[in-house]
Structures are given as structure tokens and as C-alpha cells.
């Protein structure tokens, strides 16, 4: 008896990759939208709640802080390029 196999999408799905007790990588499929399988921290309700502030001390690594630093960086680069385009005092 033969039947068509269509297991390629299933096998192509991203794998968990967590280190198992025998040292190899976990080959279970990672859960949708997560990088780990149901046994390695991908289970529903596992992990910290969204916008968990328990570990925040200074806020240096928060998304807002990252975005603020990125914004300041782009402003500084724009200012520098503008200043370089301006004629110097001797060129006048
Ligand atoms: Zn796993």
C-alpha cells in the first residue's frame, strides 16, 4: 500500500535546538512564534509576562531606551553630515 506523503512543510519547520541532557540539540519543532518547543520553555504561559518590569533596574536595555539612543545617533549623524557640507571659514 502506498500513499502520498506530504511531510516536507512539517519537517522544514524551525526546530527547538535547546541543549538536551545528552548534549545534543532538541529536534522537536519550535512552537509557532517562539524559538523553543513545548518542553523547553515554549509552552503557553511559560516565561515572564509581557512588559514584565521585575528585572528593570535602570531601564538602559528597555525598548524605549534603545529607540531613544538610536534616534540620538541618527540626529548626530545627520548633524555631522550637514556640518561637513557647509563651507569652511577659509573657503568664503
Ligand atoms: Zn525542545
Q: Report the pLDDT averaged over residues 67-89.
A: 94
The answer to the question of residue 79 being in a domain is yes
> What residues sit around ligand 1, an ion, with C-beta below 5 angstroms?
16, 18, 26, 28, 37, 40
Distance between Cα 31 and ligand 1 center (Å): 9
Is the pTM higher than 0.85? The answer reads no
Average of per-residue pLDDT across 23-52: 88
- Split into its structural domains, the chain has a count of 2
* Residue 5 included in any domain: no
Expressed in angstroms and rounded, the spacing between residue 46 Cα and the centre of ligand 1 is 14
| Distance from Cα 43 to the centre of ligand 1, integer Å | 10
Residue 35 domain-assigned (yes or no): yes
> What is the CA angle 68-73-78, rounded to 5?
125
The CA 40 to ligand 1 mean position distance, Å, reads: 5
Domain span including residue 74: 58-87
Residue 39, pLDDT score: 93
Decide if 47 is inside a domain: no
- Give the pLDDT band of residue 56 (cuts 50, 70, 90): confident
What's residue 84's pLDDT? 94
Torsion from C-alpha of 33, 39, 44, 49, nearest 10 degrees: -90
Amino acid at each position: 500500500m502506498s500513499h502520498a506523503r506530504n511531510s516536507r512543510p512539517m519537517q522544514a519547520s524551525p526546530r527547538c535546538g535547546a541543549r538536551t541532557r545528552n548534549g545534543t540539540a532538541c529536534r522537536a519543532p519550535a512552537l509557532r512564534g517562539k524559538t523553543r518547543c513545548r518542553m523547553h520553555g515554549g509552552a503557553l504561559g511559560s516565561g515572564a509576562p509581557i512588559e514584565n518590569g521585575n528585572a528593570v533596574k535602570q531601564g538602559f536595555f528597555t525598548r524605549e531606551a534603545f529607540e531613544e539612543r538610536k534616534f540620538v545617533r541618527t540626529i548626530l549623524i545627520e548633524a555631522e553630515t550637514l556640518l561637513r557640507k557647509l563651507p569652511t571659514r577659509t573657503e568664503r
